[in-house]
Copies of this chain bind each other. A is one copy, B any other.
């Protein structure tokens, strides 16, 4: 895979001509001149493999460029870079590993694959001396992978907070702004083309968890398997929670959160209350934003379109350009796909959710009767959970009413144990809703004790 200086041109083979693949073809064809001016050599899209070569894709491809045979492309010695955009696990992984074995560099947007089989793929790239680009796997067009591996490489990173799934953020934004329920907004998102027919991966947090696993690898130099990321979605959120959050000055976002503690890492995706004035709380619609904290740089936030054909393709092509710049100089492997050198990574324990501490929003559904608050507060107190504020609405003696408690920083295990007790109390009519709060340490609300 060391390039030939006599022929610095770079030939690209693309597998998968779906939404992102079409965007990649479009950019490589339409911006070819611009790219050549930047790189100093041309990047030629020579072959595209897709199972459906009849479909009209609104781009004009030269005749003969399309094939149904991915293997022919993978074994074509004239191809330098293989772009894998078929998604999924088995076939995609086979294509990538075959490409490496053929001495070809690989660019992919496949976050699910990297979150599950990342270690095997990263190691194959390093072993074969090939480059692997996956800027498009997180944050669409936002250059967040490069930020972690290069721009912020001087920093010990301490945390990552990210809105990394556009569909769920679109739904949460409409629920926040319009006061509508989850199911209603989900249907609206589907008809607007912002949610897929099966939205499970987006609304249950799986997609965000894939992306978080990839970022943790780069930020902290440790492998994390998707199974180790605590993942909770947004389907159980009620309009009540949005109204109460607002009343306390918070906005609900589905966040991917990672924190580095000495020998451990927190890795969790869940709906989170953020102070409404914080930068992430203001990210609306299908936009993504990722907030990193480093020991030298402090806070940095990256914001942009997290999905879509051209934004994601922008990231794919940036990786191809990177490889072309390497090939022109006859090198590869400048920056390892693990950011840290393979032998210099350190396995860190992923801290189970029970062991974290956080501030909590607890919404109890209780019978409106004197003494209920004191009973619940008593159980919380026994478990050393300190209350920051309380909101009790409605005044209909004997009816079910919501009672909201915001806690100071407490242990998750203590909170879960206390809720087990509280949920069994006869005056508690429904399972208590627990939401975690981030970024409110400085809020006056959370500082004073009530």
Contact = CB atoms under 8 A, between A and B. Distances in A.
Interface in A340-385: 340-341, 344-345
Contact of A321 (B154, B304, B311, B330): B154
Given A37-B221, A154-B314, 13 more contacts: A36-B344, A38-B344, A40-B336, A141-B300, A146-B151, A147-B151, A150-B321, A152-B318, A153-B317, A279-B303, A297-B310, A301-B304, A328-B334
Interface residues of A, number: 66
6 nearest CB pairs, A to B: A143-B151, A154-B317, A141-B297, A296-B314, A37-B344, A300-B304
A135 interface: yes
A259 to B, nearest CB: 17
A142 interface: yes
A71 B328 CA distance: 34
A384 to B, nearest CB: 36
Highest count of chain B CB atoms <10 Å: which of A36, A298, A322, A345: A298
A341 B35 CA distance: 10
Contacts of A303: 279, 300-303
Nearest to A221: B37
Q: Oligomeric state, in number of copies?
A: 2
13 contacts: A23-B296, A31-B154, A37-B345, A38-B339, A39-B153, A40-B336, A143-B146, A143-B147, A298-B304, A301-B302, A302-B303, A330-B331, A334-B334
Contact of A334 (B299, B301, B310, B326): B326
A333 interface: yes
A329 B334 contact: yes
A153 B38 contact: yes
A38 B340 contact: yes
A155 interface: yes
A69 interface: no
Interface of A: 23, 27, 31, 34-40, 135, 140-143, 146-147, 149-156, 221, 279, 282, 294-305, 308, 310-311, 313-315, 317-318, 320-322, 325-326, 328-331, 333-336, 339-341, 344-345
Nearest to A328: B334
A325 B321 contact: no
A313 B295 CA distance: 11
B147 A300 contact: no
Contact of A154 (B35, B153, B340): B35
A143 B153 CA distance: 10
Contacts of A304: 297-301
Given A37-B341, A304-B301, A334-B326, A152 B143 contact: yes
